[in-house]
Structure 1
Amino acid sequence: MEIKKWTDEELASTRDKLEEWCEKQKKSGKVMWIVTALLGAFAVSTGAVFIFFDGITLLSVVLIILGVMTCFTWYQSEKRRKNNIDFLEEVKREITHRAKRDK
């Protein structure tokens, strides 16, 4: 996105929305997402161990599939969080740059 072409109102609105999103994410708790990722990894490893000891069964395949889906969801949420934080910093830099330029 080319934020240099945005108006001041668009930048301020985007900054406010992203800051609100960051606050909401902090309240929801990062610990819950870490526990979710660990449960996903545990499901994958448990499914693999079940395959090793019992052979391929429906339970082990379902565990692996659910674990992979859980880990992928965690990965996507972390990626989105980092992208939003980086974009927020870019918007703040542009607002600061415009404020200095206007003086």
Structure 2
Amino acid sequence: MDDLLEGINSSYGEELFNELVLRLDRTINDFNEEISELTEAVKGNSEKRAEIIHTLMEGSDSISTNQNSQDNTTEGSNLDSEIMSEWEKRLEGLK
């Protein structure tokens, strides 16, 4: 790299050489930032994937538990409807 830069310095002059060095520096910094962002994105996606897999692996137990609780909730809401109907009937009778 130094050999290339020496050739450019002697061919184009110090001002253009300094501009080239500045642009190379910016390009390298931009590249490093983009790679850092991509690495963070890949890391985040990997963590999400691991979390989803963990959830899915535990999901079969959770699904059966949720179904049981939903069945109980449905039965409870039907019972609540019956009780409310009885109370509503009593209240109507008082009017």
Q: TM-score, normalised by structure 2?
A: 0.50
How far off its partner does 1:98 sit?
1.2
Q: Deviations over 1:45-77 (max 9, x none)?
A: 74x3144x47x7111100000011011111111
Determine the C-alpha separation between the residues in 1 that align with 2:3 and 2:29: 15
Give the gaps of 5 or more residues in structure 2. 61-95
Equivalent position of 1:101 in the other structure = 58
Structure with larger RCO (C-alpha < 8 A, sep 6+): 1
What letter corresponds to residue 76 of structure 1 in structure 2? E
**SS in structure 2 at match of 1:86:** helix
Q: Which residue of 32, 41, 45 maps to 1:75?
A: 32
CA RMSD of aligned residues (A): 2.7
Determine the C-alpha separation between the residues in 1 that align with 2:45 and 2:32: 20
Equivalent position of 2:23 in the other structure = 66
Structure in which a larger fraction of residues adopt helix: 2
Q: TM-score, normalised by structure 1?
A: 0.47
Alignment of 1:1-103 (within 5 A): 46=4, 48-49=5-6, 50-51=8-9, 53=10, 57-103=14-60
Structure 1 runs, 4 residues or longer, greater than 4 Å off: none
